[in-house]
Amino acid sequence: MNKNGLLVTIILIYGLFLSSCLSFLPEGEFTVVDVSDPNPAWVSIDYPTNESTYITNDNAIYLSGSAFVSETYLHGPPWDSGVAVIWNNSLTGGNGTCIYYTEVTFPFIETKWSAYIPLYIGNNIITITAYEYLATPPKGYSRSKILTVTRN
């Protein structure tokens, strides 16, 4: 086999490897990150809705979702995304730390989070913020997502 034949073989094997990796991508909606954005972070609210509003009669709500800060900003071991997630309810004045853990799904590292948040009657404006846990906002990279929960 000549030098060009070996190069073509290597490229084909690499292409097959990359295409097999695509089968490991999670299904569902992806967050598109603008590469020119100097803040390489995102947070999503996936449960009970990914809409911006929700209505309930309950005195509390369970929320969960995902968060990410660019792998350039990882802290500690490779299974540690370096992300912390907090919540704030502007109507109640309550706030707290979400339960969160790192999930590694090759080739991605993201943080899964959840929180049980008390509600008052009316419009509860809940802000979920994901940030670098070694640089709390506004110092490090962070993103927030807002959900307005109307409690009847």
pLDDT at 102: 81
Question: What is the average pLDDT across 6-15?
Answer: 62
pLDDT of 135 > 80? The answer is: no
pLDDT in tens, 55-111: 999 999 999 999 886 655 555 554 556 788 999 999 999 999 999 888 877 666 778
Where residue 36 falls among pLDDT bands split at 50, 70, 90? low
- Count CB neighbours of 111 within 10 A: 23
Please indicate whether residue 128 or residue 16 has the higher confidence score (pLDDT). Answer: 128
Residue-range domains of the chain with CATH:
38-151 (2.60.40.650)
pLDDT at 84: 85
Where residue 11 falls among pLDDT bands split at 50, 70, 90? low
